[in-house]
Structure 1
Amino acid sequence: MKILMIEDNESVSEMMKIFFMNENWEATFKFDGQEGLDAFLEEPNNWDMVTLDLNLPTLDGITVCQEIRKVSANVPIIILSARDTESDQVIGLELGADDYVTKPFSPLTLIARIKALYRRAERSDSPVEEKAVKEKKRYDVVTPHFKMDVNTREARFDGQLIEGLTPKEFDLLLTLAGKPRQVFSREQLLELVWDYQFYGDERTVDAHIKKLRQKIEVFGPKVIQTVWGIGYKFDDSGVPGE
C-alpha cells in the first residue's frame, strides 16, 4: 500500500512511520498542506490512501480534501484531527473524507481503520461478483418507496434521484434499507459499513446518519429512525403513497 500522510506534527509522523514499515507499506510524509496537495497532484493515481490533518500550514486540510476530491473521487481519505466536535466531523465527511479519527489516537487503531477502508475500496474497484444477478434485476434493494442500484450507486425515492450521496452514505443506506425495520446498533453499522470491529468511533455513524437524513428529507420522509439506547432502523412503510 502507498500512503500519503499530510501531517504537520513530526512526532506523529515519526511514530506512524514505524507502524507503516511494520506493515511493509510505503509512506510519504508531508508537513505542509500545499506540499501535500502538490505531492498528490503529481501522481494522483499513485496513492492507495491519504491521511490528512485539518490544521496545516499554508493550506488547511479542508481545502486540501476538496482539491483532492476534484481529481479523485475514489482514493480513500482519513482525516486526523484534534477537532472532535460533531460539526467538524460532519464538515470533513461532507467534503468527501471517508473517515475521521480524533487525536490523540492509538497507532494500532489507525492501522486497523486504514486496513478496513482499503479492503472496502478494493472491493468497490474489483469486478462486481453479483454481475449475473444484476443482469436479471434492475435494482438491488426495493422497498415501498426506495430503489437502490449497487452498480450505478444510485438511490431513488419514488423515482426521484437522491442527489449527492457520498460512497459511505450510499453504503449506510444500502445496509439499513436492505433489511427494513431491523434495528442496527452503531457497533453493527461500523462493522458492516466500515469493516471496523471494536476500533470505530460511534460518532462516525452519527455524523453520517445526520447528513444522510438531510439528503433524504429533501423529499419529506423521515425513514431513518433512531431507536433510543440501541441504534437506527430504516422504515418507509408509513410514508404516504405517491
Structure 2
Amino acid sequence: MTPSKGLVLVVEDERHIADLQRLYLAREGFGVHTESDGAAGLEAARRLRPVAVVLDIGLPGLDGTEFCRRLRAADDWTPVILVTARDEEADRILGLELGADDYVTKPFSPRELVARVKAVLRRTARPQADGVHTVGRLRLDPLRRTLHRDGEPVELTTTEFNLLAHLLARPGQVFGREQLLSQVWGYADYRDSRVVDVYVSQLRAKLGDASPIRTVRGVGYSAQESGR
C-alpha cells in the first residue's frame, strides 16, 4: 500500500544517489518508485501518476529536459524537481522554462531534497482563500486554479500559477526576490533568486501584453492594476 503522503517517482541513473533519495523520502512517509533512464521514467510517470517527480537532468537516452518537455506537452502538470550538476546551469534554466517547478544542485543534502519535495507539494495543495482576481484582460480564480485571458484559458504550471496569484492578491505591493522565494516557493535561498526571474519571464511570455507584472528595478516585482 502506498504511504499516505503519496508516491514520488525518482528518475536517476546513479544508483547510490537514487538509493539515498529513496531512503530519505521513505522516512518521511512517501512511497518511492525509481527508474534509471528517461524513457522508462516517462512511462512510469504516465502509468503510476505520482504526486511528484525527482528528475535528474543528465540521464542516458531521454534526458531530463526532454522528459519535462514531453510530460508538459501531454498536459501532465505533476510537480517536477530537477536534480542537476553545478555546470548544467543552461540545462537547469531550460528545464524551468519547460515547466519544472524547482531544482537542487549536486552535491545536495538529502534533507534539502525532501524539503523541496514537501514545499512543492504544499504549493500544489495550498488552499486559496482569496477571491477571483480580474485585472485588465485577465481573470484568475484561485479556488478553481484557472486563468483566462480575454475569456480563453491559459495553461500555467503550479509554480507559475502560485506566483501570479500571490502578486495579484496584493496589487501594487513590491516583493523582493527573496520574499517571493519564501512566500511562494516555501523556502528562502538567496543563491536561487534567479529562479524568480525565470518564472516572471515565463509568465510574461504566456500572458503577452496582458501581463500585469511590473519590474521594480533593484528591488523585485509587483502586479499593476491593469495589464497595460
Q: Quickly name the TM-score band, shorter chain normalised.
A: 0.7 to 0.9
Give the whole-Å Cα distance in 2 for the aligned partners of 1:64 and 1:176. Answer: 30
The 3 A distance-change label for structure 1 pair 122 and 129 is closer
- What does 1:178-193 align with in structure 2 at a 5 Å threshold? 178-193=169-184
The 3 A distance-change label for structure 1 pair 227 and 152 is closer
How far apart are residue 71 of structure 1 and its match?
4.8
Q: Which runs of 5+ in 2 are unaligned?
A: 1-5
The amino acid that maps onto 1:88 is D
Which residue is 1:78 aligned to?
81
Which residue is 1:201 aligned to?
192
The one of 216, 219, 223 equivalent to 1:230 is 219
Aligned residue for 1:78, secondary structure, equals strand
The one of 92, 95, 105 equivalent to 2:95 is 92
The 3 A distance-change label for structure 1 pair 39 and 79 is same
Aligned residue for 1:191, secondary structure, equals helix
Across the two proteins, how many residue pairs are aligned to each other? 221
Deviations, residues 147-203 of structure 1 (Å, cap 9, x unaligned): 3223251143xx364744333222211211221221111222123222225598222
Deviations, residues 72-121 of structure 1 (Å, cap 9, x unaligned): 62321111112542x43342123232222222222222111101111232
The amino acid that maps onto 1:154 is L
RMSD over aligned Cα, in angstroms? 2.8
Instruction: Judge conservation of contact 1:65–1:97 (CA < 8 Å) in 2.
Output: yes
Which residue is 1:154 aligned to?
147
The 3 A distance-change label for structure 1 pair 4 and 141 is same
Give the whole-Å Cα distance in 2 for the aligned partners of 1:163 and 1:129. Answer: 19
Instruction: Judge conservation of contact 2:57–2:91 (CA < 8 Å) in 1.
Output: no
Give the whole-Å Cα distance in 1 for the aligned partners of 2:68 and 2:226. Answer: 38
The one of 113, 116, 134 equivalent to 1:142 is 134
The 3 A distance-change label for structure 1 pair 162 and 224 is farther
TM-score normalised per structure 2: 0.81
Deviations, residues 55-82 of structure 1 (Å, cap 9, x unaligned): 1112211222233335562321111112
The amino acid that maps onto 1:19 is Y
Instruction: Judge conservation of contact 1:3–1:48 (CA < 8 Å) in 2.
Output: yes
Which residue is 1:57 aligned to?
60
Aligned residue for 2:96, secondary structure, equals helix
How far apart are residue 33 of structure 1 and its match?
1.5
How far apart are residue 129 of structure 1 and its match?
7.1
* 1:31 paired to 2:39: no
Percent identity over the alignment is: 38
Instruction: Judge conservation of contact 2:123–2:162 (CA < 8 Å) in 1.
Output: no
Which residue is 1:101 aligned to?
104
Instruction: Judge conservation of contact 2:84–2:92 (CA < 8 Å) in 1.
Output: no
The 3 A distance-change label for structure 1 pair 22 and 166 is closer
Q: Which runs of 5+ in 1 are unaligned?
A: 135-139
